[in-house]
Structure 1
Amino acid sequence: MIFAAGLALYLIVVLLVWIGQERFIYQAHSLPLDYRYTFDVSYEELRIPTADGETVNGLFFRANGDKRGAVLYFHGNRGNLSRWGHLHRPFSSRGYDVLMIDYRGYGKSTGKPSETGLYKDGEAALQWLLRHHTLEEVVLYGRSLGSGVAAYLASRHTPKSLILETPYDVLPNVIQHQVMLPLPGGIFRHHFPTIRYLSKARCPIHILAGTHDRLIPLRLPLELKPLLRSPSDFLIIQGAGHHNLSAFQAYHFELDRLLLP
């Protein structure tokens, strides 16, 4: 009876993951089209068309001082640009134009989020940015969920560099960590195989991760370390969690090393 009860509980968990994985992965918050962002710097709001007919909302922040290039920033799985937009500062303050987008279904962007859809959103954003910068000037930056999108683009293009903050090897491993149970691979509809995309990338790759990340434990980004050109390209920030890497000086020292001449 104990075995039967345990099996029944396990099957319930599998069913819940099968049914609810989109809700876990894509925690999108929409915004009305007339919503006005409030930032303490000027910005340009964009409506970027995708190859499959959706429209992606974006924010473009211009660099402070002399331009060194551009950062295409892909945010995490929750919220929208009203939450993420202020994160342009570490890059614009270092002389980089910054383009940030809301994935389809997030903020003012149309459509419904999916793995292939987010890749198309990323490609559309990159093509817009390439009207203003050469590919050799573009840094792809992916945070959490966005690390899979940034890695995908790096596998298809050769930007200046790729920086991943709190990434994962494959997304199903993040879900399995959260439910604390081994799950059959066939139940997952969204994979974001960052580890496979990094094996195809030809640009310099840099990874930032914290020791106290409860959402994406350090062991998952460490799976990506063998794909880097040098062990020094993997920065482990002691005491940092999933959401607060930028609160540590080590994070800013690393951005100085990677982005400044």
Structure 2
Amino acid sequence: MIQSGISKYNVYDEGEIYFYLLLIQMKTKIYDSEEVRERILNYHEKTNSDIFRLTTQCVELFSQYFFPIPKNRNGFIFIYLFCANLYCRIFRHVTVDIDGYILSEDQVEHKELIIKINHFLDSLYDLTKDPIFLEKEYLIGKYYMLVSAFENPIHYEKQINILLASDLPLLIRNQLKRDLYNYFDRKYNIYLCEHIDECGHVEIILTNLPSTYPNQRVCAIDYPLSEYNFKIIEQNIAQVWND
């Protein structure tokens, strides 16, 4: 097949064909074809290639570090990591992926998740001693996107306990909670409670009776929450998060 392709398209260097075949294996889209997927992965499994072995170890450790992988998504995750590992093997110290895309640490707000991914890559390197896991500038972005595809990355961040202390009716308090969770869900890991014993250590108090809580971090609120309310609440959350 390769020889006929060389002849048909006037390719003068056989190595060029093999290079393109290697590049194709780094594209996750190519694995949408069941026939192609089976041919590539069966070959690597049969030859016990280093990338196949490393990817198997990646998947096993990933499920321990982050979340149990659903059976119906195991194939997708294996292929995603297989392509990333193969790319790191061939293109050392290259931070953009095969499509020219890059997601660096500095672009990500979820710092605790980044720290966890760093520790995960350190563990992979300790386990395998393979230098591809030192390619963190590239791999951190790939793993961040993978985790984010299955879980809200905010769940890895520091939890901020917020007490909702109000004499507003129950249904309005419930709506306030929904509004606050919807507003901050992708940025901060907040936990809203109405009783101190639910929260444990309370860091912020939201109340329509601010004078009741002197010398505490209090945000005065009313219903419905205004844009100004959200701004003040976010400023206080950011201060707690950065402490």
* Larger helix percent: 2
* Larger strand percent: 1
Band the TM-score falls in, shorter-chain normalisation: under 0.3
Please tell me whether Structure 1 or Structure 2 has the larger radius of gyration of its CA atoms: 2
Q: TM-score, normalised by structure 1?
A: 0.24
Per chain length, whose mean CA-contact separation is higher, i.e. which structure has more relative contact order (CA < 8 Å, sep 6+)? 1
Q: TM-score, normalised by structure 2?
A: 0.25
